[in-house]
Amino acid sequence: MQPVLETCEKVLMESMRNDDAAAFEQLFERYWEHLYQRAYYRLRSRELAEDLVQDVFADFWIQRHNLQIQSDLGGYLGAMLKYKIIRWASQQEREEELHAHLFQRMEEIEDGVISLLEVASLQQTINEAVRAFPENMRSVFLLRMQDYTIGEIAEVLQLADQTIRNNHTEALRRLKTKLIESHPHLPIYSLLTILFTKT
């Protein structure tokens, strides 16, 4: 059962629909900090987190006359923020996220499996392969690397769930082919399992 709006929030929402800026400010003060913390946890950037939360509340105000929120307002605003972040991420060249993921995964590879020089070469090969993906495929791959679900990515990119799955599968196939071509002496299947298995 979904939580319902508190009576106080219902009153504030109704006032906001009638262009009461003070009611909006109260809702803003109530939820700003929580949304900012969620955004910062995901983005690790104070400025970007603040910008996206501001965007959420700007949209919230703009849409005030048409809002029909029966359940938890915090959850509604949280969902707005989540999709703001995914849209932002889908429009970026998110190579830094790929690098962070790879460094973390590389630490899990046992000593002696590959050398430091091979690690650097592998990272370069993966980066080149990802940059060569078509735009949607690259967005899907990098968003999946950041643990967004198929459904979340599909909604933001406005593609079918199966299209997202197909793009991700094809991205992994192309990456595997590129790695085998560039590093035929390395245990590619084991490396792919370590690098791209969600934890």
Per the listing, tokens 């998110």 go with 94
Tell me what the pLDDT averaged over the chain comes to: 81
**How confident is the model at residue 24, as a pLDDT?**
94
Angstrom distance (rounded) from CA 23 to CA 143: 36
Q: Give percent of the chain with pLDDT exceeding 70.
A: 75
Residues whose CB is less than 8 angstroms from the CB of residue 16 and which lie 6 or more positions away in sequence, other chains included: 23, 24, 27, 61, 64
Angstrom distance (rounded) from CA 35 to CA 139: 24
Q: Can you say how many angstroms the Cα of residue 78 is from the centroid of all Cα atoms in its chain? A: 13
Angstrom distance (rounded) from CA 143 to CA 133: 14
Question: What confidence category does residue 55 fall into, taking pLDDT thresholds of 50, 70 and 90?
Answer: very high
Angstrom distance (rounded) from CA 14 to CA 31: 17
Angstrom distance (rounded) from CA 184 to CA 78: 46
* 41 in Cβ contact with 12 (< 8 Å): no
**How far apart, in Å, do the first and last CA atoms of the chain sit?**
29
Is residue 106 predicted with pLDDT exceeding 90?
no
The pTM of this model reads: 0.62
The predicted model gives 164-168 an average pLDDT of 94
Tokens read off for 3? 């939580």
Per the listing, tokens 């590389």 go with 106
**How confident is the model at residue 2, as a pLDDT?**
41
What count of other Cβ atoms lies within 10 Å of the Cβ of residue 54? 14
Choose between 163 and 117: higher pLDDT.
163
Is residue 39 predicted with pLDDT exceeding 80?
yes
